[in-house]
């Protein structure tokens, strides 16, 4: 949604949007062959303009399946950010020491695996485990894009992970399922272990009521209460494959309903600085 509205809530200095994507320019960074969807062109310049409107100073670019393991658009965006951006990559079996070192030098600090059917479905679990072992040694973390079905189906595997793990979009338990849904209870239980983190992003993904997505607030509150020092926030701009495309200012204005000012300082500034190595 094109908007020029600024949020009513003023973000604390050093706030980080830990979940954004960039696509294009397509003449330089073409979409991968066989990509599960074709996105609109949304470049680093568009992201810079968005964050100027919102009052965001830092960002984490999350690689999407649109580019598969071609991380160039993300890496070039990070390189132009003067240290304000980090990245989460997609990798494949071809990646060796040289490729991982290039990602690390380029500002990448995590690898993402998705479990959603419309984005390719369940990954190769053996490859996920090998990747987890490899990146743990580098001090990186694993980012998991799961939903309530995959949390239930892979609970045993999830509980076996020992490196730092970040769960995207509150675990994508739909609001009508409620915070007592077994998958959400598993997520809260995982957060008792110090290696588990979660993003209170994706309110527009789990909402049943639509904008301004207030029905998602109880989920975010419970997650922040469970792990105030291991919760992150992000806009998920440019919002691929959503039912409602939000005005990001609305997402910022939800934040005071998620937690008090002290907790939000941790979620928005302190936690991402610790995880991603921002000063």
- Which two tokens mark 260? 């008090």
Domain CATH number, residue 193: 3.20.20.140
Residue 87, domain member (yes or no): yes
DSSP result, 165-189: EEESGGGG--GGG-TTSHHHHHHHH
Determine if the peptide bond prior to 238 is cis (ω within 30°): yes
End-to-end CA distance of the chain: 32
pLDDT at position 119, please?
82
Residues 218 and 131: their CA atoms lie apart, in Å, by 34
Three-class secondary structure of residue 109 per DSSP: strand
Residue 3, domain member (yes or no): no
Residue 2, domain member (yes or no): no
Residue 5, domain member (yes or no): no
Enclosing domain of residue 170: 16-276
**H or E, element range at 198:** strand 196-199
Q: Any alpha helices (H) in 144-277, and if so which ranges?
A: 148-153, 155-160, 182-190, 203-206, 217-226, 248-258, 261-265, 271-276
Residue 208, domain member (yes or no): yes
The angle formed by the CA atoms of residues 49, 50 and 54, to the nearest 5 degrees, is: 120
Number of domains in the chain: 1
Residue 6, domain member (yes or no): no
pLDDT at position 120, please?
85
Q: Where are the beta strands (DSSP E) in 79-175?
A: 85-89, 108-114, 141-145, 165-167
Three-class secondary structure of residue 137 per DSSP: coil
Are 218 and 177 in contact, with CB atoms under 8 Å apart? no
Q: What letter does residue 211 receive in the DSSP assignment?
A: T
Q: b or e along 20-41 (b: 16 or more beta carbons within 10 Å of the residue's beta carbon)?
A: bbbbbeeeebebeeebbeebee
Tell me the torsion sign for CA atoms 267, 131, 160, 181: positive
pLDDT at position 169, please?
98
Q: What's this model's pTM, rounded to 2 decimal places?
A: 0.97
Residues 164 and 275: their CA atoms lie apart, in Å, by 9
Nearest residue to 48 via CA among 20, 6, 8: 20
Residue 135, domain member (yes or no): yes
Active-site residue list: 236
Residues in contact with 218: Cβ distance below 8 Å, sequence separation at least 6, in sequence order: 179
The mean pLDDT values, 10 residues at a time, for the chain of 279 residues are: 87 98 97 93 97 98 96 98 98 98 98 91 96 97 98 98 98 98 98 98 98 98 98 97 94 98 98 96
């Amino acid at each position: 949604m094109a908007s020029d509205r600024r949020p009513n809530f003023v973000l604390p200095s050093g706030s980080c949007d830990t979940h954004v994507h960039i696509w294009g320019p397509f003449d330089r960074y073409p979409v991968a062959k066989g990509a599960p969807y074709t996105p609109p062109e949304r470049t680093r310049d568009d992201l810079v303009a968005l964050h100027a409107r919102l009052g965001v100073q830092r960002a984490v670019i999350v690689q999407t399946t649109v580019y598969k393991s071609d991380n160039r658009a993300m890496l070039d965006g990070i390189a132009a950010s003067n240290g304000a951006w980090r990245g989460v990559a997609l990798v494949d079996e071809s990646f060796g020491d040289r490729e991982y070192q290039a990602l690390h030098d380029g500002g990448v600090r995590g690898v993402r695996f998705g479990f959603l059917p419309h984005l390719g479905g369940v990954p190769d679990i053996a490859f996920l485990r090998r990747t987890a072992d490899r990146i743990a040694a580098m001090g990186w973390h694993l980012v998991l894009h799961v939903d309530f079905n995959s949390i239930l189906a892979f609970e045993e595997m999830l509980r076996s992970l020992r490196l730092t793990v970040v769960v995207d979009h509150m675990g994508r338990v739909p609001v009508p399922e409620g915070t007592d849904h077994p998958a959400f209870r598993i997520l809260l239980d995982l957060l008792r272990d110090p290696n588990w983190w979660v993003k209170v992003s994706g309110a527009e993904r789990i909402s049943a009521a639509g904008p301004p997505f207030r029905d998602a607030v109880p989920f975010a509150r419970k997650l922040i209460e469970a792990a105030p020092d291991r919760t992150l926030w992000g806009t998920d701009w440019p919002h691929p494959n959503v039912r409602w495309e939000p005005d990001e200012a609305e997402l910022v204005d939800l934040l005071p309903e998620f937690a008090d000012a002290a907790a939000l300082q941790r979620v928005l500034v302190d936690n991402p600085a610790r995880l991603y190595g921002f000063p």
